[in-house]
Amino acid sequence: MSPLPAFDASDPLGIDDLLGDEDRAVRDTVRSWAADRVLPHIAEWYENGELPGIRELARELGSLGALGMPLTGYGCAGASAVQYGLACLELEAADSGIRSLVSVQGSLAMYAIHRFGSEEQRQRWLPAMAAGEVIGCFGLTEPDHGSDPAGMRTRARRDGGDWVLTGRKMWITNGSVAGVAVVWARTDEGVRGFVVPTDAPGFSAPEIKHKWSLRASVTSELVLDEVRLPADAVLPEVSGLRGPLSCLNHARYGIVWGAMGAARSCFESALGYAKEREQFGRPVAGFQLTQAKLADMAVELHKGILLAHHLGRRMDAGRLRPEQVSFGKLNNVREAMEICRTARTVLGANGISLEYPVMRHATNLESVLTYEGTVEMHQLVLGKALTGLDAFRG
């Protein structure tokens, strides 16, 4: 019998064995890009509440094939869902804001056009978006309608051959830097999606300031003041909430992996710190209470990665149900937050400093817990699937 492989603190369950060479190549390429282009600057960007050079970063992510990664054709990489997940994990290990940029571009804006757009819309937008030359955003949430988008007020009416859009969207990632916005609006035929060039008269996207989470990410309001669009601006292949909610499945799937990236960064930070930091004459890693924390963090981290991997394989096999995505997002974001909080305690006072990544990840995850469906929405999705009873509306 061949000897057992050595215990690997960075991969205690041997999950790496589940990956193929191409998977590892994707993971390592994205990890090394993030180490080079994000990690040296992220604390400063975060402190300043900005993402300078976002257009250059988008182009670089485009060159890596990270934008619209699992989509096929139109300059997209045609990667597997597992590979896309690995990329999300590595990006979010750097910062949730960078993963958000990629999620919104690929899983929301590009996915909507790829899945529900006309051939002309795909040809016009997808190659430039895959290359990162055009940034996209996705406008579903409104000031008064977040968890319940069915109540949206943004309206599109027909005027001759044109569509005219009026309304407001809120908390829109990439909004102020986008060249194209996928906007969901109420019409006489139900909810429809519109591809809106952001230079259309009547469109504006003021940036939302004073965020204490996702500070290295652009978040905006979208104002649509009688925005006139040609008849072919509508996404022809879908009507109803099924359209935006289908896109959300893909972005939520990326978060299942991404959250574990933030958690991994916090775990590694805590482990490294605990081995170096001495109190009472010995490294704090030698105390049983610290070891209990590290063991529990490692267990939840690698269970979460296994879960992400399992869902990725189901997605690649075309067998991933939306309820399973809710399962993953609910668990992995919640556990990532717990891991980050525990890591913060291991670092003591240093845990609150931007010199370490822990507090930055912890505050980012407050947004991740809320966007793409709050924790309560995912509990209710699972609750409905388990009981057959819909508790959303009381």
Q: Quick one: 104 or 346, whose CB is closer to ligand FAD?
A: 104
Question: Which residue is listed with tokens 């409905």?
Answer: 384
Cα–Cα nearest to 291, from 341, 280, 299, 260: 299
- Torsion sign (Cα): 345, 346, 352, 356: negative
Q: List the single partner that 350 binds among ligand TGC, ligand FAD, none, CB under 5 to 8 Å by kind.
A: none
Do the Cβ atoms of 269 and 357 come closer than 8 Å?
yes
In angstroms, the CA 276 to CA 6 distance is 23
Under rule CB under 6 A, how many of the chain's residues touch ligand FAD?
19
Residue 373 makes contact with ligand TGC by CB under 6 A: yes
- Which pair of tokens denotes residue 198? 């952001």
d(CA 368, CA 234): 29
Name which of ligand TGC, ligand FAD, none residue 376 binds, using a CB cut-off of 5 to 8 Å depending on partner kind: ligand FAD
Rounded CA-CA distance 131/129 in Å is 5
Q: What is the b/e burial string over 115-148, where b = at least 16 CB atoms within 10 angstroms of the residue's CB? A: bbbeeebbebbbbbbbbbebbbbbbbbbeebbee
Q: Which does 381 bind (CB under 5 to 8 A by kind): ligand TGC, ligand FAD, none?
A: ligand TGC
How many alpha carbons fall within 13 Å on the CB side of residue 369? Answer: 15
Comparing CA positions, the residue from 240, 241, 228, 244 lying closest to residue 159 is 228
* Residue showing tokens 């509990």: 379
Name the residue among 379, 372, 393, 376 with its Cα closest to residue 171. 372
372 in active site: yes
When asked if residue 83 is in the footprint of ligand TGC (CB under 6 A), the reply is no
- Determine which residue in the list 66, 67, 77, 140 makes contact with ligand TGC, applying CB under 6 A: 140
Which one of 214, 227, 274, 315 is in contact with ligand FAD (CB under 6 A)?
A: 214
**CB of 245 vs ligand TGC, minimal distance in Å:** 4
How far is Cα 377 from Cα 181, in angstroms, rounded to an integer? 25
Name beta bridge partners: 136.
Answer: 180
Taking the complex as a whole, how short is the minimal distance between the CB of residue 248 and ligand TGC, in angstroms? 5
Q: Which is nearer to ligand TGC, 103 or 269 (CB)?
A: 103
Q: Does 251 bind ligand TGC (CB under 6 A)?
A: yes
Task: Give the whole-angstrom CA distance, residue 62 versus residue 134.
Answer: 10
Minimal distance, residue 126 CB to ligand FAD, in Å: 19
Q: Residue with CB nearest ligand FAD?
A: 146
Q: Which of 142, 366, 372, 376 is catalytic?
A: 372
Tokens representing residue 121 in the block: 């819309």
Q: What is the DSSP string of 330-363?
A: HHHHHHHHHHHHHHHHHTGGGGGSTTSSHHHHHH
Which residue lies nearer to ligand FAD by CB, 323 or 376? 376
Which among 30-38, 177-185, 221-229, 369-377 is the span making contact with ligand TGC, rule CB under 6 A? 369-377
Q: Which stretch binds ligand FAD (CB under 6 A): 110-118, 168-176, 227-235, 312-320?
A: 168-176
243: left (phi over 0), alpha (psi -120 to 50) or beta: alpha
Between 69 and 172, CB nearer to ligand FAD: 172
Q: Work out how close the CB of 258 gets to ligand TGC at its nearest, in angstroms, rounded to a whole number.
A: 8
Determine, following the binding rule CB under 6 A, whether residue 139 of this chain makes contact with ligand FAD: yes
Tokens of 281: 């004459």
How many residues bind ligand TGC, per CB under 6 A? Answer: 25
Q: What residues form DSSP beta bridges with 168? A: 223
Tokens 């990632």 belong to: 173
Measured in whole angstroms, how far is the alpha carbon of residue 352 from the centre of its chain?
24
Is residue 80 a contact point for ligand FAD (CB under 6 A)?
no
Shortest CB 207 distance to ligand TGC, Å: 14
172 touching ligand FAD, by CB under 6 A:
yes
Residues 185-244 within binding reach of ligand TGC (CB under 6 A): 240-242
Residue whose pair of structure tokens reads 């960075």 in the numeric block:
10
Give yes or no for residue 140 binding ligand FAD (CB under 6 A): yes
Of 340, 330, 333, 375, the closest CA to residue 361 belongs to 340
Contact with ligand FAD (CB under 6 A): which of 105, 107, 173, 332? 173
Binding site for ligand TGC (CB under 6 A): 100, 103-104, 138, 140-141, 147, 149-150, 173, 240-242, 245-246, 248-249, 251, 322, 371-373, 377, 381, 392
- Which residues are tagged catalytic? 372
Binding site for ligand FAD (CB under 6 A): 104, 138-141, 146-147, 171-173, 214, 219, 367, 370-371, 374, 376-377, 392
